[in-house]
């Protein structure tokens, strides 16, 4: 395409050229969509790329200063550019993002560029944070966003959207939004924008306060960086914010102050009063202050950051040599660095006083009493902080600092106020890269828990999950000494830390946090939970404790089994599944009564998972499982052995391994290791085993489907990894756990590491048996969810969906005829129907990835069968908004078959389900409002137009009269003879107000088809209800919109007078 120079063109000609390019892009997009709908060969996508490049070249000539530039961009470029950004073609999306980047780079009219960029801000944030987008598109979108922020081109509306995205449900969106806000604040320093930041101080404080306690670690780190960027602009406001933050967060911010100031290229100043620790008072006698400290403090105010860094490097070069040194020499080097290092955070950390120690064994001098009395004043005068030394880049310095902290703890001179900061530093050092630092950190932590148990237990409440996660990782360390110390610390926390309920929650939280990192870590978490169950057996008599444990185990089993076979490359997932199943069996053995009560309260699908896990654990997979039940508790002790207890017993915990921890292990560990079986720990267990056997027999006998089909199921193959257990027959549900039933849902980022090649026969037999017995199941929805995880291919999913549709149709057709005989009366559980609809919604919306069009058509076919199922009418009525959203997605499907099936679902919803008019109108308005408030609100697809037309259809079918009940705001329907459900229906004034409000917003939509559709619906409602009823409700409409409704009402009446008769 020949490019013409824009230098000699007038503003009008330049904008005309912009209009022609925008119209060409829209036409190209329309023809491409038409080709998809008609299944014709697609047009060349390079044409659209070249058109977008022409727009970028036009914007590169700085046309932002033209008159009416913003209006022309809004009319002719905005929608097509938004559509191109969301294209699945990577070159098209990159070209669209490049258009915005070119405008930001070459635009000189800041106001016009800021307004145009605000249109695409939300879409760019989604692209930058989306995991489904190509990395090139995400990187380009992030570069454009950072360029917008660094040039301070954020309007008030854009900044409000950005702050709102900081609280989005997606962690990636929150992280991206906080980074953009940080760049904006950092760029505002020294500009006129800095004055306007004061107007957003309260909102920024609220966002930072929430994000610094976010569940995602990267979001928390970005929020802390954003805090320091705001601190450079408004130190007073951040000081007020710091005062209301939790104590542990204040300490973390204080530890990161120096690095943040260095990153922001800011001159460090003495810390603000809120940053000071109450246990470290400053010396009041200024005459005895160290001159080196005064010089360093004065230099921190005057010299630049570069000079400060150079002096620090020179000091380190003088203090340390490149040779490897012994621990005693490292201690001397630490003392020498303490005299030369400048003091920047003299009052916010634990300070080391080198002159208080001898050069010998590390013991205290004879004058410990006098030194202890003057410790508070001397610690603020000289020396360097232990926290700063623990952050050193030299591992020997970090190790010496931890050893010094351990000596302080052993000697009893560690203040209780310093324990929180010391624990924070030890938590980081337990995860250190060098094994010697990890070793002494674990020893110091063990000493601290022994010397100050009360204070340590109090401060560990907030960081216990993180500490458990670090220790569980260390149990797989390459150094045996580190592994042994980590197991000993975990044993101490499990046995001695209280209350035990909090420790159990921390164990489950740690399993959720690190279980997704690898199968080995998930295995270690399962073994730790198994050990906790055996140590605190009496705790599980409480129903709540047993409930969160069972549901947490089920969540991890469901996640492990839901991974595709191609993602499993190692043999770890099989062993991990067996460990979680063993922990579930241990929960049954320690308290069978509470386990039975919890299992009976689970949903039927979750009960099936528990039964499958128990059959796998006790080896009851064959048809003669009843005969083997008596031997399951007497033989096969290898099945229930506690691996963590055996490893703990094998570790020789001596003073050489862990300093200061030579006490013997508890009796519980001896019992577990001596018996090698969790069910044979003491003679008293015989009655418990008897009870557990009866509970297991009763629970497994309740599964009629398994009893009927166990004769045809072949025996499961042995695990190829060499284990004695069988392949588990777990049928997990999709990862859509309900918040009301699951205590914690594990991370979905688990890299599965199991080879399922030997299990394909078992899974195929279970899947075939499930599809064959779908007709017989009394709960077809639960049965479908139970077997869905084994459907890997598109054809298998399609067959499973059609099998469910057949079962639902059979239930609807025979329910009335066989009601008295009770031959086939399938159950319907509302929670399972909700999970089914949520899963279908995610499938059709593309959240779970690209879905084959045959599967999408099968989903809509099964949805129609679900709508026709009488037992599910009440459940569908409660999820009406979600059902309408699924139908709307089907109406916009590129395949005609899916569109027709979605239209049939809408007809079935209005004719078979017959929801009340109020409920149906409320659901429709909810869907439309989500569309108008979402990122795709400018798109005018046929699905949204059909959904808006459905408002008129619902009101016309209801046929309400003009009468109103006296003293109320309800309008009764005139019940038609054939529509019995309408006698109970009523149309209320709030619902009509909401419908009119939504249609009023549609009248100002940017697309003409949407505005035209809203006018026709308003005309139809007015003709149906009459002017006497509708005129008060039409008051929110403007005079222009009201005139438009009057004109179209007259036109429609003249052309088709029979359509709108009341």
Per-residue pLDDT tens digits for 1020-1048: 888 888 888 888 888 888 888 888 888 88
Q: What is the mean pLDDT of residues 983-988?
A: 58
> What's the DSSP call for residue 463?
H
Please give the share of the chain, as a percent, with pLDDT higher than 70: 66
- Please give the pLDDT value at position 746: 41
> What's the DSSP call for residue 274?
G
Determine which helix (DSSP H) or strand (DSSP E) holds 552, and give its type and residue range. helix 543-561
CA distance 542 to 547: 9
Determine which helix (DSSP H) or strand (DSSP E) holds 398, and give its type and residue range. helix 395-411
Chain centroid to Cα 485, Å, comes to 33
pLDDT bin (cut points 50, 70, 90) of residue 148 is very high
Per-residue pLDDT tens digits for 775-818: 344 567 877 877 776 677 788 888 888 888 888 888 665 555 55
- Please give the pLDDT value at position 100: 92
Q: Which of 491, 492, 385, 481 is nearest to 441 (CA)?
A: 481
pLDDT bin (cut points 50, 70, 90) of residue 758 is very low
Q: 561 pLDDT exceeds 90? A: no
Q: 668 pLDDT exceeds 70? A: no
- Tell me if 819 sits within 8 A of 811, measured CB to CB: no
The CATH code of the domain at 1-153 is 1.20.930
pLDDT bin (cut points 50, 70, 90) of residue 43 is low
pTM given for the model: 0.42
Per-residue pLDDT tens digits for 886-939: 888 888 888 888 888 888 888 888 877 778 888 888 889 888 888 888 777 777
Per-residue pLDDT tens digits for 229-277: 888 888 888 888 888 888 888 888 888 888 888 777 766 544 444 443 3
Higher pLDDT, 404 or 8: 404
Per-residue pLDDT tens digits for 729-747: 333 333 323 333 333 334 3
- Please give the pLDDT value at position 179: 92
CA distance 11 to 6: 9
Side-chain half-sphere CA neighbours of 110 within 13 A: 10
Q: What is the mean pLDDT of residues 316-336?
A: 48
Q: What is the mean pLDDT of residues 183-210?
A: 82
pLDDT bin (cut points 50, 70, 90) of residue 10 is low
Q: What is the chain's mean pLDDT, rounded?
A: 71
Which long-range contacts does 648-652 make (Cβ < 8 Å, 24+ apart)? 648/487, 648/488, 648/491, 648/531, 649/673, 651/483, 651/484, 651/487, 651/488, 652/484
Per-residue pLDDT tens digits for 345-380: 333 333 333 333 333 333 333 333 333 333 443 343
Tokens 């070793």 locate to 439
Could you check whether the bond before residue 916 is cis, i.e. omega within 30 degrees of 0?
Answer: no
Output phi, psi for 467, to 5 deg. -65, -45
- Please give the pLDDT value at position 805: 87
Least confident of 249-258, 552-561, 842-851, 945-954: 842-851
pLDDT bin (cut points 50, 70, 90) of residue 144 is very high
Q: 756 pLDDT exceeds 50? A: no
What secondary structure does DSSP assign to 171-240, as a single string?
HHHHHHHHHHHHHHHHHTTTSTHHHHHGGGHHHHHHHHHHHTT-SSHHHHHHHHHHHHHHHHH-HHHHHH
Q: 97 pLDDT exceeds 60? A: yes
- Please give the pLDDT value at position 177: 92
Six-digit token string for 715: 């025996």
- Please give the pLDDT value at position 123: 92
Q: 716 pLDDT exceeds 80? A: no
Q: Which of 855, 833, 706, 841 is nearest to 782 (CA)?
A: 833
Q: 944 pLDDT exceeds 90? A: no
User: Which residues partner with 357 through β-bridges?
Assistant: 364
Higher pLDDT, 348 or 168: 168
- Which range has the top average pLDDT, 119-123, 558-562, 831-835, 1022-1026? 119-123
Per-residue pLDDT tens digits for 842-859: 788 776 667 788 888 988
Q: Which of 849, 943, 1013, 948 is nearest to 37 (CA)?
A: 943
> What's the DSSP call for residue 356?
G
Q: 145 pLDDT exceeds 90? A: yes
Q: What is the mean pLDDT of residues 507-527?
A: 83
pLDDT bin (cut points 50, 70, 90) of residue 30 is confident
> What's the DSSP call for residue 988?
E
The set of residues, in sequence order, having a beta carbon less than 8 Å from that of 128 and lying 6+ positions away, is 138, 141, 142, 145, 176
Q: What is the mean pLDDT of residues 977-998?
A: 67
Q: 723 pLDDT exceeds 50? A: no
Determine which helix (DSSP H) or strand (DSSP E) holds 70, and give its type and residue range. helix 69-76
Q: 176 pLDDT exceeds 90? A: yes
Report domain extents, the chain.
Answer: 1-153, 174-269, 780-913, 929-1062
User: Which residues partner with 972 through β-bridges?
Assistant: 986
| Domain 174-269 fold | 1.25.10
Q: What is the mean pLDDT of residues 88-115?
A: 88
Q: What is the mean pLDDT of residues 503-510?
A: 89
Six-digit token string for 591: 């308290």
């Amino acid at each position: 395409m020949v490019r013409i120079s824009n230098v000699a063109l007038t503003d009008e000609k330049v904008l005309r050229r912009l209009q022609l390019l925008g119209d060409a892009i829209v036409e190209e997009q329309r023809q491409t969509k038409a080709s998809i709908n008609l299944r014709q060969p697609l047009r060349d996508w390079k044409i659209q790329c070249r058109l977008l490049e022409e727009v970028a070249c036009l914007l590169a000539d700085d046309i932002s200063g033209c008159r009416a530039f913003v209006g022309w961009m809004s009319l002719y470029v905005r929608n097509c550019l938004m559509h191109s950004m969301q294209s699945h073609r990577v070159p098209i999306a990159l070209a669209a993002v490049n258009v915005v980047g070119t405008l930001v780079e070459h635009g000189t009219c800041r106001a016009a560029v800021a307004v145009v960029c605000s249109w695409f801000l939300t879409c760019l944030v989604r692209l930058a944070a989306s995991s489904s987008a190509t990395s090139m598109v995400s990187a380009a979108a992030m570069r454009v966003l950072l360029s917008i922020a660094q040039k301070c081109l954020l309007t008030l509306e854009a900044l409000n959207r950005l702050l709102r995205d900081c609280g989005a449900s997606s962690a990636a969106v929150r992280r991206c939004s906080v980074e953009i806000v940080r760049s904006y604040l950092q760029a505002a320093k020294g500009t006129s924008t800095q004055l306007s930041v004061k107007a957003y101080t309260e909102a920024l404080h609220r966002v930072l306060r929430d994000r610094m306690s976010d569940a995602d670690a990267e979001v928390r780190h970005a929020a802390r960086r954003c805090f320091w960027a705001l601190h450079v602009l408004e130190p007073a406001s951040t000081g007020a914010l710091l005062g209301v933050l939790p104590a542990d967060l204040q300490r973390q911010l204080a530890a990161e102050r120096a690095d943040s100031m260095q990153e922001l290229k800011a001159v460090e100043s003495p810390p603000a009063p809120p940053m000071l620790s109450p246990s470290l008072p400053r010396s009041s006698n200024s005459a005895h202050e160290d001159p080196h400290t005064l010089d360093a403090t004065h230099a921190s105010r005057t010299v630049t950051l570069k000079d400060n860094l150079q002096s620090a490097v020179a000091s380190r070069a003088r203090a340390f040599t490149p040779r490897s040194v012994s621990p005693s020499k490292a201690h001397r080097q630490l003392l020498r660095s303490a005299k030369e290092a400048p003091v920047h955070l003299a009052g916010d950390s634990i300070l080391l006083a080198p002159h208080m120690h001898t050069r010998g064994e590390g013991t205290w001098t004879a004058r410990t009493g006098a030194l202890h009395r003057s410790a508070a004043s001397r610690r603020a005068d000289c020396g360097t902080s232990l926290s700063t030394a623990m952050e050193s880049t030299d591992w020997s310095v970090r190790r010496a600092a931890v050893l010094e902290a351990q000596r302080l703890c052993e000697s009893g001179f560690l203040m209780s106020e310093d324990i929180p900061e010391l624990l924070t530093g030890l938590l980081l050092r337990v995860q250190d890269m060098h094994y010697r630092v990890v070793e002494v950190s674990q020893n110091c932590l063990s000493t601290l828990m022994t010397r100050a148990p009360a204070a340590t237990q109090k401060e560990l409440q907030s960081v216990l999950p993180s500490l458990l996660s670090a220790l569980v990782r260390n149990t797989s360390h390459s150094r045996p000494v580190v592994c042994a110390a980590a197991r000993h610390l975990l044993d101490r926390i499990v046995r001695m830390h209280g209350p035990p309920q909090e420790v159990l929650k921390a164990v489950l939280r740690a399993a959720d946090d690190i279980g997704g990192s690898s199968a080995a870590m998930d295995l270690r978490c399962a073994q730790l939970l198994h050990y906790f169950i055996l140590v605190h057996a009496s705790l599980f008599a409480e129903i709540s404790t047993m409930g969160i444990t069972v549901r947490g185990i089920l969540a991890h089993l469901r996640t492990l089994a839901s991974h595709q076979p191609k993602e499993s490359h190692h043999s770890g997932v099989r062993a991990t599944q067996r460990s979680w199943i063993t922990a579930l069996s241990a929960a049954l053995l320690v308290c069978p009564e509470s386990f039975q009560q919890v299992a009976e309260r689970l949903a039927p699908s979750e009960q099936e998972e528990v039964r499958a896990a128990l059959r796998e654990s006790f080896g009851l997979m064959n048809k003669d499982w009843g005969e083997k039940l008596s031997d399951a508790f007497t033989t096969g002790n290898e099945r229930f052995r506690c691996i963590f207890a055996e490893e703990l017993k094998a570790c020789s915990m001596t003073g050489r391994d862990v300093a200061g921890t030579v006490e013997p292990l508890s009796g519980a560990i001896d019992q577990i290791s001596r018996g090698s079986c969790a069910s044979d720990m003491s003679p008293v267990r015989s009655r418990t085993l008897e009870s557990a056997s009866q509970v297991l027999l009763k629970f497994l006998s309740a599964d009629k489907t398994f009893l009927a089909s166990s004769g045809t199921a072949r025996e499961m193959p042995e695990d190829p990894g060499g284990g004695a257990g069988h392949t588990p027959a777990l049928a997990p549900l999709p990862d859509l756990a309900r918040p009301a039933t699951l205590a914690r849902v594990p991370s979905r980022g688990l890299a599965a590491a199991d080879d399922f090649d030997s299990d394909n026969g078992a899974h195929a037999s279970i899947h075939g048996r499930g599809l064959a017995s779908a007709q017989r199941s009394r709960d077809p929805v639960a049965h479908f969810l139970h077997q869905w995880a084994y459907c890997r291919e598109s054809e298998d999913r399609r067959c499973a969906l059609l099998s469910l549709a057949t079962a639902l149709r059979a239930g609807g057709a025979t329910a009335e005829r066989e009601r008295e005989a009770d031959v086939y009366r399938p159950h319907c559980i509302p929670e399972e129907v909700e999970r089914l609809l949520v899963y279908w919604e995610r499938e059709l919306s593309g959240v779970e990835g690209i879905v084959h069009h045959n599967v999408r058509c099968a989903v809509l076919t099964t949805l129609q069968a679900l709508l026709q199922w009488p037992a599910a009418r009440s459940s569908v009525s409660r999820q009406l908004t979600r059902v309408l959203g699924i139908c709307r997605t089907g109406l916009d499907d590129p395949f005609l078959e899916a569109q027709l099936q979605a239209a049939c679902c809408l007809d079935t919803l209005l004719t078979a389900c017959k929801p009340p008019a109020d409920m149906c109108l409320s659901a429709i308005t909810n869907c439309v409002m989500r569309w108008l408030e979402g990122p795709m609100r400018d798109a005018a697809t046929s699905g949204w137009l059909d959904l808006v037309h459905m408002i008129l259809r619902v009101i016309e079918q209801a046929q309400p009269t003009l009468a109103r009940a006296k003293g109320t705001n309800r309008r009764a329907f005139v019940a038609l003879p054939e529509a019995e459900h309408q006698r109970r229906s009523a149309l209320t004034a709030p619902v009509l107000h909401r419908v009119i409000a939504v249609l009023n917003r549609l009248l100002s939509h940017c697309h003409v088809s949407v505005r035209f559709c809203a006018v026709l619906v308003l005309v139809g409602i007015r003709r149906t209800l009459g002017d006497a009823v509708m005129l008060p409700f039409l008051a929110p409409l403007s005079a222009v919109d009201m005139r438009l409704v009057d004109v179209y009402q007259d036109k429609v009446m003249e052309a088709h007078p029979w359509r709108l008769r009341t």
